[in-house]
Structure 1
Amino acid sequence: MIQSESAIARFIQLFVQRSSGESIPEQVSQFADPFISADPNGTRCVRVDDFAAALPRRKLLFDRLGCKPAVLVSLHETQLDARYVLAKTTWRFDFARANSGEAGQVLADSTFLIDTGEEEFKIVMYMTHQDVMQVLRDRGILQS
């Protein structure tokens, strides 16, 4: 886990903590409403309510695949101006598939655009650099 004292590092560490928790409202509280989601398949504007509705399905899938909570491997901050910070991250996902006893590890890169202009920072753009579901299929972790 990354150890840093910057405000962005603390914000991302809180994101890590909340992402592995059970509280959907806490998980989505760090996102602007709406926010931009981008991945290799395109870009879309996402309402926080829609995001909150999708999170339980994602958690069920990752639980079924034996995924442990994601570990933040790296964080690189770039101050874009007085208000916005770009945070490039790398995450490690460890999977222990119950049906085969086989373990798998996946590294995934993502970038956050964080609005620091208010007292409570908000993620205004979240970009995953890989199609995570396709990576899981390619690695044999997720069956098509």
Structure 2
Amino acid sequence: MIQAETDVARFFELYAKKTREDNDPALVSQFTDPFVSADPHGTRCVRIEDFAAALPKRKLLFDRLGCKPAVLLSLHETQLDKRYVLAKTTWRFDFARENSGELEQVLADSTFLVDTGQEEFKIVMYMAHQDVMQVLRDRGILRD
């Protein structure tokens, strides 16, 4: 868990809390409409209602796979200008293995572009550095 010493760190601490609590409406409110999503497969513009609809499906899948709430391990901020901050993060996902119940850790790196120009900060871009679903397949956690 990170130490929330900056406004951006407090923003991500709240983001992690909303994720742990499955507070989808509050989590969705931290993004602009639309926002940019990027991953190893490409880039797309995501409408907030589509994002909101996808969150419960992802939660169901991760619950089925025995995933514990994600933990924010690290946050590195780069102030780009007076308004925008680039936030590089590392998250830990713990999956309980079906047969043994042992926890298997999966680390995921992501980068966010955060608009800090308003009273409420907003994520305008989210980039996943790995294809998490492929990582889960490769580790035998997710089976098609």
TM superposition score category, shorter chain reference: over 0.9
Once the 2 structures are TM-superposed, how far is the Cα of residue 27 of structure 1 from its aligned partner? 1.3
Query: Quick one: which amino acid aligns to residue 49 of structure 2?
Result: D
Task: Give the share of equivalent positions with the same residue, in percent.
Answer: 76
Runs of 4+ in 1 over 2 A off after TM superposition: 97-103
Once the 2 structures are TM-superposed, how far is the Cα of residue 97 of structure 1 from its aligned partner? 2.8
Partner of 1:29: 29
Gaps of 5+ in 1: none
RMSD: 1.0
Partner of 2:46: 46
Superposition pairs for residues 115-126 of structure 1, below 5 Å? 115-126=115-126
Query: Quick one: which amino acid aligns to residue 133 of structure 1?
Result: M
Partner of 1:84: 84
Q: Distance in 1 between matches of 2:72 and 2:100?
A: 26
Partner of 1:112: 112
How many residue pairs end up in the alignment? 144
Q: Deviations over 1:7-39 (max 9, x none)?
A: 000000000001112322111010000000000
Q: Secondary structure at the match of 1:105?
A: strand
TM-score normalised by structure 2 residue count: 0.96
Q: Distance in 2 between matches of 1:23 and 1:71?
A: 16
Q: Distance in 2 between matches of 1:101 and 1:5?
A: 36
TM-score normalised by structure 1 residue count: 0.96
Gaps of 5+ in 2: none
